[in-house]
Amino acid sequence: MRFLGVDLAWQGGASGYCCLQWQGQDLVVVALDRACDTQELLAWIDRDAPSAQAAMVAVDAPLIIPNFRGMRSCDRQSHQVLGRYHAGCYPANQQSPFASHTTGFSQALSQRGFHHAPTIRPQQSGRFQIEVFPHATAIALFQLDQIIKYKKGRLTERRRGLARLRELMTTHLCHCEPPLRLQFPEALPTTGRDLKVLEDQLDAILCAYTGASWWYWGSDRHWVLGSESFSPAPATTDAYLKTGYIVVPRR
Q: Which residues of 212-248 are buried (b: 16+ CB within 10 A; e: fewer)?
A: bbbbbbbbeebbbbbbeebeeebbebebbebbbbbbb
Tens digits of residue pLDDT in 101-156: 999 999 999 999 999 999 999 999 999 999 999 999 999 999 999 999 998 889 99
Query: How many angstroms separate the CA atoms of 32 and 84, rounded?
Result: 32
Which amino acid makes up residue 141? L
- Positions in the chain short of pLDDT 50: none
Please tell me the predicted confidence (pLDDT) of residue 11: 84
Cβ partners under 8 Å of residue 208, min gap 6: 3, 4, 5, 18, 19, 20, 58
Tens digits of residue pLDDT in 66-75: 999 999 999 9
Please tell me the predicted confidence (pLDDT) of residue 222: 97
pTM above 0.85, yes or no: yes
Please tell me the predicted confidence (pLDDT) of residue 185: 87
Query: Where does residue 117 rank: exposed (0-12), middle (13-18), buried (19+ CB within 10 A)?
Result: buried
